Amino acid sequence: MKVLVPVKRVVDYNVKVRVKSDNTGVDIANVKMSMNPFDEIAVEEAVRLKEKGVATEVIAVSCGVTQCQETLRTAMAIGADRAILVETDAELQPLAVAKLLNALVAKEQPGLIILGKQAIDDDANQTGQMLAALADLPQATFASKVEVAGDKVNVTREIDGGLETLSLSIPAVITTDLRLNEPRYVTLPNIMKAKKKPLEIVKPEDLGVDVSPRLKTLKVSEPPKRGAGIKVPDVATLVNKLKTEAKVI
């Protein structure tokens, strides 16, 4: 069974994001980039399935600029067997990415597609769901536990009231939550091995997909700065301020 794992190149989660002076977007010049943390969890889960003998091959996929090759090499250092880069300089929105992944699913015929529930740059939380709809596959989102049993996969997912377990027929789409696993530390020997693993580069037109943006960003701005807090002498004053000033009760 093949496992397809889409990974996204995003601004590193430790970096403080700055908005461009003209409010057209986020400034990513000379900023450290890395793999989306939720996608890193997805790669780890796919590699664990391979180590258990459930999966036979793990394929990492990324869509975007040439530098995404670095992200794919990281995925292969974790344990992916090969990688595919859909190379484009166009602004990729969730629907376009889902269409590209759908074309690759049709080509590769994986048993599972495991991807992060959302990217930390746009926080869209849409690609996995859109892919499942386009490919007409069962889906389980926000997975905190994945168990493959024959031609079924049991997914425990976190919901408001606790935990829910779904049984899906394979092939299926799974999106990972934070508590699914803890990704392994990438060692130097594995980084060197990853350089020799195959990385295929294709263009969106090779897959017959139009990636033109459907949405237009009008303005990007930083959230307003929070005002300083105040101390109140007693509960009565607090309640009064919540009623008259904050107007929340």
What average pLDDT is seen over the chain?
Answer: 91
Do the domain assignments include residue 249?
no
For residue 195, being part of any structural domain is answered with yes
Average pLDDT over residues 156-174: 91
pLDDT value of position 247: 82
Q: Does residue 241 belong to any structural domain of this protein? A: no
Domain that residue 126 falls in: 2-224
pLDDT tens across 75-93, in order?
999 999 999 999 999 889 9
Task: Flag whether 173 is in a domain.
Answer: yes
Q: Give the pLDDT confidence score for residue 220 in this predicted structure.
A: 87
Say if residue 203's pLDDT is above 90. Answer: yes
Domain of 21, CATH number, reads 3.40.50.620
Q: Average pLDDT for residues 218-242, to the nearest whole number?
A: 88
**What pLDDT sits at residue 159?**
87
Q: Does 238 fall in a domain?
A: no
**The pLDDT of residue 19 is above 90:** no
Q: Please, which residues have CB within 8 angstroms of residue 121's CB and are 6 or more apart in sequence?
A: 8, 10, 11, 26, 36
Beta strands in the chain (DSSP E): 2-6, 9-11, 18-19, 26-27, 33-35, 57-64, 82-87, 112-116, 139-149, 152-159, 162-169, 172-176, 199-202
Q: Is residue 233 part of a domain?
A: no
Domain count, the chain: 1
Residue 150 has pLDDT above 90, yes or no: no
Task: Let me know: does 71 contact 15? Beta carbons within 8 Å.
Answer: no
Task: Provide the pLDDT confidence category of residue 16 given band limits of 50, 70 and 90.
Answer: confident
- The encoded tokens of residue 6 equal 């889409």
| Reduced 3-state DSSP string for 47-115 | HHHHHCCCCCEEEEEEEECCCHHHHHHHHHHHCCCEEEEEECCCCCCHHHHHHHHHHHHHHHCCCEEEE
Asked if residue 243 belongs to a domain, the reply is: no
Is 108 a member of any domain? yes
pTM of the prediction?
A: 0.84
